[in-house]
């Protein structure tokens, strides 16, 4: 049976969530395609991939007909397979690229890119940050699920989204101790902390924070059982997020709660543009040890992308529920 929408990614959770968020916003049945790229494609620039439909290897999903009417891909490695799918489908497939790939924008029917990437064009939809899955409906569902489990925490409740080192930032032991001291002070002052580390946080930094908060009103997810991430967002009065993740900060901003960015060592020009754009929009402020209160208008860039894709599919005779 033909599924009208495929969403493609290379296994990175951030890319998966972006592509999935757009697929959900379109409103048609969809299927996930995880691209476990094999040799020789894995070591070649995507612009040089010949027969890109064969690039998926062991652990990846095969790209075989029947072809979808819409394919959404996130990241550089999804671009060539998407273009190959459209060619195999005889052009009867809309191709939507999320994030900027190593291809010119003209190759895609639509590109959805964050403002800090600076790509512009008639077929480019610019989002303030990353597109994502966080919607009022998802938050309401998560709140209902997690409220009983987190009822022991006092208010204000603070969701703490911990990232860590990447190509631009690093989370040093010294910085981890500084963050731990700030969180300990908030908890001692009566805040309830809901903390979710990531794989980038690292065992050392996580251990420092766990030790500092022992015996205080805080829950730190250990990576087992149900993922409380959306529950933490839904039930937070304030959100703190480390500076290294565009996705986490943008997702936090979809709640309408004050979002304060925890500085890390390092940075880059692209990240600086991102942080400046959200601060200028009144969405985020820098975390300096205390909680601040303000309001801002919540954007729905992902919903806007879904609406534009629906219109394009209708105009091209590709829309059938």
Using one digit for the tens of pLDDT, what is the confidence trace for 107-162?
Answer: 999 999 998 888 899 999 999 999 999 999 999 999 999 999 999 999 999 999 99
At residue 246, the 3 state secondary structure works out as helix
Q: Report how far residue 239's alpha carbon sits from residue 183's, in angstroms, rounded to the nearest whole number.
A: 12
**pLDDT (mean) for 51-66:** 92
pLDDT of amino acid 122: 93
Strand 70-74 and strand 94-98: the pairing is parallel
Exposure string for 145-181, b = 16+ CB within 10 A, e = fewer: ebeeebeebeebbbbbbbbbbeeebebeeebbeebbe
Contacts of 203 (CB under 8 A, 6+ apart): none
Over its C-alpha atoms, the chain yields an Rg (Å, rounded) of 21
Site of tokens 């979809």: 254
5-132+301-315 matches 136-286 in fold: yes
- For 252-272, what is the mean pLDDT? 97
Superfamily of domain covering 136-286: Glycogen Phosphorylase B; (3.40.50.2000)
Distance, CA of 159 to CA of 252 (rounded, Å): 9
Q: What is the enclosing helix (H) or strand (E) of 289? A: none
Instruction: Provide the sign of the torsion angle of the four alpha carbons 150, 151, 153, 155, taken in this order.
Output: positive
Task: Assign 100 a pLDDT band (cuts: 50, 70, 90).
Answer: confident
pLDDT at residue number 320? 85
Is this structure's pTM higher than 0.85? Answer: yes
Please check the confidence at residue 46 and state whether its pLDDT lies above 90: no
pLDDT of residue 101: 86
What pLDDT does 81 receive?
Answer: 96
- pLDDT for position 2: 80
Q: Can you tell me the mean pLDDT for 80-106?
A: 94
Q: Other CB atoms closer than 10 Å to residue 220's CB: what's the count?
A: 17
DSSP letter for 37, please. B
**Does 1 score more than 70 pLDDT?**
no
**CA geometry: angle 45, 51, 54, nearest 5 deg:** 95
Residue 15 CA, chain-centre distance (Å), reads: 7
Q: In degrees rounded to 5, what are phi and psi of residue 113?
A: -130, 150
Question: Which CATH architecture describes the domain 5-132+301-315?
Answer: 3-Layer(aba) Sandwich (3.40)
Token representation of residue 311: 């219109």
pLDDT for 59:
86
Distance CA 309, CA 282 (A): 28
Tokens matching residue 83? 């273009």
Domain limits of the chain?
5-132+301-315, 136-286
């Amino acid at each position: 049976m033909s599924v009208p929408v495929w969403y493609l990614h290379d296994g990175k959770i951030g890319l998966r969530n972006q592509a999935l968020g757009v697929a959900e916003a379109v409103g048609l049945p969809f299927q996930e395609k995880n691209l476990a790229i094999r040799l020789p494609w894995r070591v070649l620039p995507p612009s040089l991939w010949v027969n890109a439909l064969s690039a998926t290897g062991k652990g990846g999903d095969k790209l075989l007909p029947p072809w979808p009417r819409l394919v959404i891909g996130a990241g550089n490695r999804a671009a060539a397979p998407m273009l190959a799918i459209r060619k195999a489908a005889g052009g009867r497939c809309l191709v939507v690229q999320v994030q900027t790939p190593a291809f010119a924008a003209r190759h895609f029917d639509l590109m959805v890119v964050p403002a800090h990437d600076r790509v512009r064009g008639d077929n480019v939809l610019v989002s303030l940050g990353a597109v994502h899955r966080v919607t009022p409906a998802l938050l309401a569902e998560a709140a209902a699920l997690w409220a009983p489990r987190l009822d022991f925490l006092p208010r204000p409740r603070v969701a703490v989204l911990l990232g860590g080192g990447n190509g631009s930032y690093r989370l040093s032991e010294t910085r981890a101790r500084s963050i731990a001291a700030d969180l300990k002070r908030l908890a001692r002052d009566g805040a309830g902390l809901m903390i979710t580390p990531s794989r980038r946080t690292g065992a050392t930094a996580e251990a420092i924070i766990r030790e500092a908060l022992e015996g205080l009103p805080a829950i730190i997810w250990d990576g087992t059982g149900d993922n409380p991430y959306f529950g933490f967002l839904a039930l937070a009065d304030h959100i703190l997020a480390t500076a290294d993740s565009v996705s986490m900060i943008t997702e936090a901003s979809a709640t309408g709660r004050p979002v304060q960015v925890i500085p890390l060592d390092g940075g880059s020009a692209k990240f600086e543009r991102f942080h400046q754009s959200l601060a200028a929009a009144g969405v985020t402020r820098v975390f300096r040890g205390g909680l601040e209160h303000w309001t801002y208008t919540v954007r729905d860039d992902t919903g806007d992308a879904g609406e534009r894709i629906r219109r394009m599919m209708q105009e091209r005779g590709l829309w059938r529920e």
